[in-house]
């Protein structure tokens, strides 16, 4: 794979990379994502047009996001040879993704009966018109040939858990479908300029044949306006659509680009991460969030996890407040699902889904992994014990408010959400009368290899955060919206909040400065990763459950380090260093969520060389493809948006040293030695700032200074 300034290129066709490149070369526009596959591919090559926010369940199978019919299918034969990279002779092949503008292209030279037949294709999913998919397909030859061209919307598509459509009708190049479970209408329009249906074309040597294909994909309420919407799009040429698409991308980059001087590899990796985040985030709705595998397919059921709030929302809150507000509002909108879940497990308040779908109901099952030895479903405790998710969604909302300075969501369900989450924890907590404290038992922290533990430090601290957030949100309401505050306090019992907040146990560093990950963690077998690996009997063995890691100190992903990352202003440098050194050798980094916490904490204590390794690990995760592909026998491939978010967090919070209080943004950087300059954009309480850092100085400029926001740079105060 070659990397340019704004593009990646696979310079030849590698059959064993088809799956990985499908994710690596993904294009998406927040409404849909299309995998980086060839136009002639089908379901066996995992072609997918994955839809954001549309879910379906077929029979007893897991509910998952829906893949729409494939609008870009093209089959071309030259004489008797099908121009398919999988089967034909090819003398050249290149696949390219332009990350500046979200454009996928390919160029393949097929050798057919002594002729060189060249196929070039370029496609994009419009950032300007979220329903529109566009493809330009060109064939040229150096000898006379006869082409047979078939292009259609292919309904024979990849699904992990069965078919999700009934075809209702097909006429005038419009395909009418309905989902199986909720009978949601889906309509796909197709307009081909230059070739329709099957086409026979005689091409003379030196000639070129081009056609353009525009498709419109609509579902739900949007179907009612689809005909008009599609017609408007088809009144524009491919080039006009491309131009407006590019200009949306230009303005996106204008608000979020990160520039690194002195390290081309890091520069591309961070931009590639931001490309993915910007591609997959819903732009025009607050009815869905960002799935853990983005829009690269149905892995993890297309569900949203804590990944969004803890790893991705920081980036959006500092670069695109409107989009971030939508993500926060999604959780407010889905509170009924969280309340249902709390009830189902015998608690009060709002227990958010571990794997959230459109209603907020949990797509996670109690048996979420198969035992690789027996093939039987294994009891996992992600769904019922990973309670920190309710605190994570509060974190997403409250940090959005603090960074944007916009607290309006509190009065449209936000305060209620924070209250219900804390009430859930209050109902979950165990009161220890002798030690006079609340504890949290039977939990799973970020490290999923240790289930049903007591007093996971990260979880307990996040619950304390929730209590503080409720306290502060109530204070804000009291001062800024008295009528709302009074009504809220009339309708809600808040008498328990103070007691719970003050007496909740949060594990502290011990005499060696180490925070125990959970009660009795230190009693577990002290072994190392190589030893554990040597005990594996089978490939892809699951280390959690009753598996290999459970009775050892080996952890799947940053856990105490996640605590030190989120609450980085609270702990002494010596505590951060001691815990980094203690936990790092035990950490498998078996989740792509792990590396950034290690990177951010290391950068914050001036260990830029430690940090750099983890920054590169998180920033290149979807470039190298160096991630787990299976959990037990479950395929978990795809893109890794939490890691993409983690790379921005490491660059900005870690190396950039950005932190904030309710009133002040602080910048205290520490760059890797070989970086000559780091430049990034920040939207801080409504003012757009550009921060530029080099060895000698930090420069901050504001687009439109208001003289009302406070920034400190290396402890010196400024107003912008
Ligand atoms: O949310 C994560 C979890 O922390 C580790 N397993 C994968 C999930 C989805 O990314």
Structure confidence at residue 625 (pLDDT): 83
Cα distance between residue 647 and residue 621, in whole Å: 10
* Closest CA to ligand 1's atom 6: 591
Cα distance between residue 655 and residue 260, in whole Å: 11
Q: CB under 8 Å to 487, separation ≥6 — which residues? A: none
Mean pLDDT of 653-679: 97
- DSSP letters, 126-193, are -SSSTTEEEEEEEEEESS-EEEEEEEEEE-----SS---EEEEEEETTEEEEEETTT--EEEEEEEEE
Q: Give, as one character, the DSSP assignment of residue 381.
A: -
| Pocket flag, ligand 1, residue 446 (CB < 6 Å) | yes
Cα distance between residue 443 and residue 618, in whole Å: 27
* Closest CA to ligand 1's atom 4: 446
Residue pLDDT, tens place only, 181-199:
999 999 999 999 987 767 8
| Pocket flag, ligand 1, residue 85 (CB < 6 Å) | no
Given the CA of residue 591, which atom of ligand 1 is nearest to it? 5
Q: Which residue has the tokens 């454009």?
A: 103
Given the CA of residue 382, which atom of ligand 1 is nearest to it? 3
Identify the three-state secondary structure at position 676: coil
Q: Which residue has the tokens 């970086």?
A: 675
Token reading at 431: 């009161």
| Pocket flag, ligand 1, residue 642 (CB < 6 Å) | yes
Which of 276, 289, 307, 590 is the best mutation target for the ligand 1 pocket, counting ligand atoms within 8 Å of the beta carbon and taking the most? 307
Given the CA of residue 448, which atom of ligand 1 is nearest to it? 5
Ligand 1 centroid to 382 CA: how many Å? 10
Residue pLDDT, tens place only, 157-169:
999 999 999 999 9
Question: Per-residue pLDDT for 388 more than 80?
Answer: yes
Given the CA of residue 556, which atom of ligand 1 is nearest to it? 5
- Within a 13 Å sphere around the CA of 326, how many CA atoms are in the beta-carbon half? 15
Number of neighbours of residue 628 by Cβ within 10 angstroms: 14
Distances (CA, A) of 321 to 345, 415, 684, 686: 35, 19, 10, 8
Ligand 1 centroid to 445 CA: how many Å? 11
Ligand 1 centroid to 592 CA: how many Å? 8
Cα distance between residue 202 and residue 291, in whole Å: 46
* Closest CA to ligand 1's atom 9: 292
Cα distance between residue 182 and residue 197, in whole Å: 32
Token reading at 600: 């951010």
Ligand 1 centroid to 594 CA: how many Å? 10
Q: CB under 8 Å to 429, separation ≥6 — which residues? A: 438, 439, 440, 463, 500, 504
Question: Per-residue pLDDT for 569 more than 80?
Answer: yes
| Pocket flag, ligand 1, residue 591 (CB < 6 Å) | yes
Where exactly are the structural domains of the chain?
2-228+243-255, 257-667
Question: Per-residue pLDDT for 146 more than 80?
Answer: yes
Token reading at 384: 């019922």
| Pocket flag, ligand 1, residue 305 (CB < 6 Å) | yes
> Average per-residue pLDDT in the chain?
96
Token reading at 37: 């596959």
Determine the Cα angle at 387 with ends 584 and 517, to 5°.
Answer: 25
Identify the three-state secondary structure at position 217: strand
Question: Per-residue pLDDT for 438 more than 80?
Answer: yes
As its CATH architecture, domain 2-228+243-255 has Distorted Sandwich (2.70)
Ligand 1 centroid to 200 CA: how many Å? 49
> What are the CB-based long-range contacts (under 8 Å, 24+) for 229-233?
229/129, 229/131, 230/131, 230/132, 230/189, 230/191, 233/126, 233/129, 233/131, 233/132
Token reading at 33: 């994502």
Strands 698-702 and 634-635: unpaired
| Burial category of 208 from C-beta neighbours within 10 Å (exposed 0-12, middle 13-18, buried 19 and up) | exposed
Token reading at 655: 């190396």
Structure confidence at residue 627 (pLDDT): 83
pLDDT band at 570 (very low <50, low <70, confident <90, very high): very high
Which of 301, 302, 305, 597 is the best mutation target for the ligand 1 pocket, counting ligand atoms within 8 Å of the beta carbon and taking the most? 305
Ligand 1 centroid to 354 CA: how many Å? 9
2-228+243-255 against 257-667: fold identical = no
* Closest CA to ligand 1's atom 7: 591
Q: CB under 8 Å to 298, separation ≥6 — which residues? A: 48, 50, 64, 65, 67, 159, 160, 161
Ligand 1 centroid to 529 CA: how many Å? 20
Mean pLDDT of 113-122: 96
Q: CB under 8 Å to 31, separation ≥6 — which residues? A: 51, 52, 125, 130, 131, 282, 283, 284
Given the CA of residue 300, which atom of ligand 1 is nearest to it? 9
| Pocket flag, ligand 1, residue 593 (CB < 6 Å) | yes
* Closest CA to ligand 1's atom 5: 591
* Contact in structure between 311 and 596 (CB atoms under 8 Å): yes
pLDDT band at 74 (very low <50, low <70, confident <90, very high): very high
Rama region for 436: left / alpha / beta (φ>0; ψ in -120 to 50; rest): left
Strands 115-125 and 132-141: antiparallel
Identified catalytic residue from 448, 479, 570, 697: 448
Nearest to 110 by CA among 89, 131, 138: 89
| Pocket flag, ligand 1, residue 363 (CB < 6 Å) | no
Which of 276, 292, 559 is the best mutation target for the ligand 1 pocket, counting ligand atoms within 8 Å of the beta carbon and taking the most? 292
* Contact in structure between 579 and 413 (CB atoms under 8 Å): no
Question: Per-residue pLDDT for 663 more than 80?
Answer: yes
Percent of the chain with pLDDT over 70: 100
Question: Per-residue pLDDT for 540 more than 90?
Answer: no
Ligand 1 centroid to 593 CA: how many Å? 7
Which of 304, 562, 589, 591 is the best mutation target for the ligand 1 pocket, counting ligand atoms within 8 Å of the beta carbon and taking the most? 591
| Pocket flag, ligand 1, residue 102 (CB < 6 Å) | no
Structure confidence at residue 629 (pLDDT): 82
Adjacent-strand bridge partners of 148:
77, 200
Residue pLDDT, tens place only, 499-539:
999 999 999 999 999 999 999 999 999 999 999 999 999 98
Q: What is the 3-state secondary structure (H, E, C) of 218-264?
A: EEHHHHHHHHHHHHHHHCCCHHHHHHHHHHHHHHHHHHHCEEEECCH
| Pocket flag, ligand 1, residue 72 (CB < 6 Å) | no
pLDDT band at 4 (very low <50, low <70, confident <90, very high): confident
| Pocket flag, ligand 1, residue 300 (CB < 6 Å) | yes
448 given a catalytic annotation: yes
| Pocket flag, ligand 1, residue 542 (CB < 6 Å) | no
Cα distance between residue 683 and residue 318, in whole Å: 5
Cα distance between residue 523 and residue 544, in whole Å: 18
Q: For 625-720, where are the alpha helices, taking DSSP H only?
A: 641-649
pTM over 0.75: yes
Ligand 1 centroid to 639 CA: how many Å? 12
Query: Can you state the angle between helices 595-604 and 641-649, rounded to 10 degrees?
Result: 0
Q: What is the 3-state secondary structure (H, E, C) of 256-324?
A: HCEEEECCHHHHHHHHHHHHHHHHHCCCCCCCCCCCCCCCCCCHHHHCECCHHHHHHHHHHHHHCHHHH
Nearest to 453 by CA among 525, 393, 521: 521
Ligand 1 centroid to 573 CA: how many Å? 28
Structure confidence at residue 632 (pLDDT): 77
Determine the Cα angle at 274 with ends 272 and 277, to 5°.
Answer: 115
Nearest to 332 by CA among 410, 391, 422, 414: 414
* Contact in structure between 322 and 396 (CB atoms under 8 Å): no
Given the CA of residue 354, which atom of ligand 1 is nearest to it? 1
Structure confidence at residue 12 (pLDDT): 96
Ligand 1 centroid to 648 CA: how many Å? 18
| Pocket flag, ligand 1, residue 458 (CB < 6 Å) | no
| Pocket flag, ligand 1, residue 39 (CB < 6 Å) | no
* Contact in structure between 21 and 30 (CB atoms under 8 Å): no
Given the CA of residue 636, which atom of ligand 1 is nearest to it? 7
Nearest to 394 by CA among 377, 415, 367: 415
Ligand 1 centroid to 152 CA: how many Å? 37
CATH dotted code for 257-667: 1.50.10.10
Structure confidence at residue 149 (pLDDT): 95
| Pocket flag, ligand 1, residue 306 (CB < 6 Å) | yes
Percent of the chain with pLDDT over 90: 94
Ligand 1 centroid to 676 CA: how many Å? 34
| Rg, C-alpha atoms of the chain | 26
| Pocket flag, ligand 1, residue 130 (CB < 6 Å) | no
Cα distance between residue 80 and residue 335, in whole Å: 58
Given the CA of residue 446, which atom of ligand 1 is nearest to it? 4
Given the CA of residue 293, which atom of ligand 1 is nearest to it? 10
pLDDT band at 602 (very low <50, low <70, confident <90, very high): very high
Sign (positive/negative) of CA torsion 316, 322, 327, 328? positive
Structure confidence at residue 356 (pLDDT): 98
């Amino acid at each position: 794979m070659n990397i340019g300034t704004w593009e990646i290129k696979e310079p030849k066709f590698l059959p064993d990379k088809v799956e990985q490149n499908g994710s690596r070369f993904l294009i998406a526009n927040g409404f849909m994502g299309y995998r980086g596959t060839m136009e002639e591919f089908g379901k066996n090559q995992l072609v997918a047009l994955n839809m954001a926010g549309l879910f379906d369940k077929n029979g007893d199978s897991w509910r998952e996001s829906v893949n729409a019919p494939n609008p870009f299918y093209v089959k071309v034969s030259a004489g008797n040879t099908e121009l398919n990279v999988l089967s034909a002779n090819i003398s050249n092949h290149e696949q390219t993704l332009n990350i500046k503008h979200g454009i996928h292209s390919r160029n393949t030279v097929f050798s057919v009966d002594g002729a060189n037949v060249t196929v070039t294709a370029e496609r994009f999913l419009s950032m300007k018109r979220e329903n529109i998919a566009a493809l330009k397909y060109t064939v040229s030859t150096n000898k006379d040939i006869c082409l047979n061209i078939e292009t259609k919307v292919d309904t024979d598509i990849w699904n992990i858990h069965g078919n999700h459509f009934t075809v209702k009708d097909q006429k005038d190049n419009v395909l009418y479908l309905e989902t199986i479970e909720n009978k949601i209408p889906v309509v796909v329009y197709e307009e081909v300029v230059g070739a329709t249906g099957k086409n026979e074309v005689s091409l003379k040597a030196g000639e070129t044949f081009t056609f353009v294909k525009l498709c419109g994909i609509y579902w739900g309420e949007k179907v009612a306006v689809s005909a008009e919407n599609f017609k408007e799009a088809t009144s524009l040429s491919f080039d006009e659509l491309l131009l407006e698409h590019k200009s949306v991308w230009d303005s996106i980059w204008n608000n979020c680009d990160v520039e690194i001087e002195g390290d081309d590899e890091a520069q591309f990796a961070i931009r590639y991460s931001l490309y993915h985040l910007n591609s997959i985030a819903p732009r025009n709705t607050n009815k869905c969030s960002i799935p853990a595998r983005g829009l690269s397919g149905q892995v993890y059921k297309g569900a949203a996890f804590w990944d969004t709030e803890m790893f991705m929302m920081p980036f959006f809150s500092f670069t695109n407040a409107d989009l971030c507000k939508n993500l926060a509002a999604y959780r407010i909108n889905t509170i009924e699902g969280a309340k249902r879940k709390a009830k189902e497990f015998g608690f009060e308040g709002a227990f958010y889904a571990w794997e959230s779908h459109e209603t907020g109901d949990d797509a996670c099952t109690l048996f979420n992994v198969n035992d690789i030895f027996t093939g039987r479903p294994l009891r996992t405790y992600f769904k019922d014990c990973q309670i920190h998710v309710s605190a994570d969604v509060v974190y997403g909302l409250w940090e959005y408010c603090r960074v944007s300075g916009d607290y309006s969501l509190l009065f449209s369900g936000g305060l209620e959400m924070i209250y219900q989450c804390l009430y859930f924890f209050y109902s979950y907590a165990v009161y220890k009368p002798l030690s006079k404290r609340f504890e949290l038992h039977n939990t799973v922290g970020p490290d999923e290899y240790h289930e049903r533990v007591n007093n996971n430090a990260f979880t307990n601290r996040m619950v304390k955060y929730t209590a503080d957030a409720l306290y502060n949100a109530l204070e804000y309401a009291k001062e800024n919206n008295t009528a709302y505050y009074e009504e809220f306090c009339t309708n809600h019992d808040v008498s328990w909040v103070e007691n719970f907040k003050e007496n909740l146990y949060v594990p502290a560093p011990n005499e060696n400065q180490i925070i125990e990950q959970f009660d009795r963690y230190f009693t577990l077998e002290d072994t190392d990763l190589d030893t554990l690996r040597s005990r594996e009997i089978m490939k892809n063995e699951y280390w959690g459950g009753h598996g290999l890691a459970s009775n050892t100190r080996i952890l799947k992903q940053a856990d105490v380090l996640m605590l030190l990352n989120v609450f980085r202003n609270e702990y002494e440098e010596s505590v951060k260093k001691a815990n980094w050194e203690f936990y790092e050798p035990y950490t498998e980094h078996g989740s792509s969520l792990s590396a950034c916490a290690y990177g951010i904490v290391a950068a914050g204590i001036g260990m830029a060389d430690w940090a750099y390794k983890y920054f590169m690990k998180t920033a290149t995760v979807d470039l190298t493809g160096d991630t787990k592909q299976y959990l037990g026998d479950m395929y978990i491939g795809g893109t890794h948006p939490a890691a993409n978010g983690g790379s921005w967090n490491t660059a900005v919070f870690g190396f950039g040293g950005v932190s904030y209080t309710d009133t002040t943004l602080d910048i205290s950087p520490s760059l890797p030695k070989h970086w000559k300059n780091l430049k990034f954009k920040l939207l801080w309480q409504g003012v757009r700032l550009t921060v530029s850092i080099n060895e000698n100085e930090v420069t901050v400029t504001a687009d439109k200074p208001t003289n009302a926001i406070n920034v400190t740079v290396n402890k010196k105060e400024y107003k912008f």
